[in-house]
Amino acid sequence: MGALYSVAEIRQAEQAAAAQLPPGALMQRAGQAAARIALDLLGGAPARPVLVLAGPGNNGGDAFEVAANLAQAGVDVAIVHIACEGEPSAETAHALGRARASTATFADSIPDDGQWSLIVDGLFGIGLARPLEGAARAMVEAVNAVDCTVLALDVPSGLDADSGAVLGPDGVAVIATHTVTFIGDKPGLHTYAGRDYAGEVMVARLGIDEAMMPGASIHLNEPPMFELAFVPRLHASHKGSFGDVAVVGGAHGMAGAPILAARAALFSGAGRVYVASVDHGPAYDNVQPELMFRDAATHNFAGSTVVAGPGMGDSATAIRILAKLLDGESPLVLDADAINLVAASPDLQSRLSARHAPSILTPHPLEAARLLGVTAGVVQGDRLEAAREIAARFDAFVVLKGSGTVIAMPDGEAAINPTGNPGLASAGTGDVLAGLCGSLLAQGWPARDAALAAVWMHGQAADRLVAQGVGPIGLTAGELPAAIRTVLNRMVAQRPKRGGQPQS
């Protein structure tokens, strides 16, 4: 599966491999792998030259190797080099010598009138820990103003490989169309700004033995991580076989949020779905009359999986109901207002931490920040760490929404979701996700699998809609449940039918 490695873990593997290889072997392999990809991107003999940007460190050495290999293949190559203040490493010095001995030309700066078939970014790699400034910043801004294919080596310069954040409060980073990352994939290429800056990510292992790689605790969220939970339904099943979901919310003026969550639960296969309104709510849904409506203050939640928070508000009634739910034994999904209420109350936090039944929390960055007592900027600066901290603090499964949604487990395991698109940045899509999480829990899925699968299918449904011409601009939350149903049934159809008895 798609393992993701921190910078520290990559360094560990790199050092172990380098100790068994001739000096410079890894840099040479990186240059060969990236040059092959560059040639594929060029698609033949380019009419315009290739620009290679080489920084002062070993990432620059990789770039020199790429330039020498492309020149050897007959490509017209221009190199702009930012020299280091001291002596370069022996490997980088050797690579620079290869580039100077090739037909590549060197320039002091990026020509103003340059029209490039490809730009190779080898300015700074995974070791960069400070914002770009001076000549490097100007160079990155110039690259981002050019309309051509950009191949980043290891990580787009200026992007944090661990977090996916652009370094610095007013930082810049190369906006690549493609990134070839070395030895192992990096989490920062798949979450937060990383998805916009890295483009298509390719991994070049550089021939490093898998045994040299550390055990990964972070993975890309892919169907092999949860597909065993998909089970074809038996003919003798009935509505009681697939669980009850109760969505608690619907304060005055916010009745739509729990209905969206409830429709998602219904379309993803829950047997019975209730909307339990905090305030006086609608009697029925004339679009989905299968939904049943109740008063949250008097409804018996025993035996149901509960989704609490969509449009719940912050009234005293909402707080009392949430406290009761936290003390209960039902599987629980906390979203939106329920998360805000927990964040504001040490008592509710203690109740959540003490739960024995499964809990899934689905915060967006600001809600996560309230839970942690920090700002949304701090959360976005290290989404993985924030999600893991919440999961550990509340012994819960956490879905930190956003570009490259992070799913964190209480044991420290985490996944980054690759599906989804900007169409999900609209009101109500989070309610749909919460309802989907609750539906899978109600159908007997383990909380880990339910969180992973719900996030993946939610994003995949949005991707399918966009592929069909629905969005991303103007895609609405109400369009997602039916698309989720399609994705879910296709996933189930790919699983072999199993024997067993129907649930009672």
Annotated binding site: 58-62, 121, 125-131, 154, 157, 257, 311, 364, 401-405, 430-431
Taking CA atoms, 223 is separated from 2, 305, 348, 415, in Å, by 11, 24, 34, 12
- Report which residue type is found at 460: Q
Distance CA 6, CA 10 (A): 6
User: How far is 175 from 181, CA to CA, in rounded Å?
Assistant: 15
- Helix, coil or strand: residue 51: strand
Beta carbons of 263 and 291 less than 8 angstroms apart: yes
User: Which positions ≥6 away from 414 have C-beta within 8 Å?
Assistant: 217, 218, 219, 384, 387, 388, 406, 407, 408
Residues at the annotated binding site for (6S)-NADPHX? 58-62, 125-131, 154, 257, 311, 364, 431
Q: How many CB atoms lie under 10 A from the CB of residue 97?
A: 12
Query: Secondary structure of 85-137 in the HEC alphabet?
Result: CCCCCHHHHHHHHHHHHCCCEEECCCCCCCCCCEEEEECCCCCCCCCCCHHHH
What does the block give as tokens for 241?
A: 């076989």
Q: Exposed/middle/buried for 128, CB within 10 Å: 0-12, 13-18, 19+?
A: buried
Binding site as annotated, residues for K(+): 59, 121, 157
Residue 40 is classified by DSSP as H
Q: Which of 459, 437, 410 is nearest to 220 (CA)?
A: 459
- Count of C-beta atoms within a 10 Å radius of residue 77: 26
- Residues flagged as binding site for AMP: 401-405, 430
Of residues 148, 166, 169, the one with CA closest to residue 156 = 166
Q: Which two tokens stand for residue 323?
A: 């406290």
Q: What's the length of the chain?
A: 504
Alpha carbon distance 61, 53 (integer Å) = 10
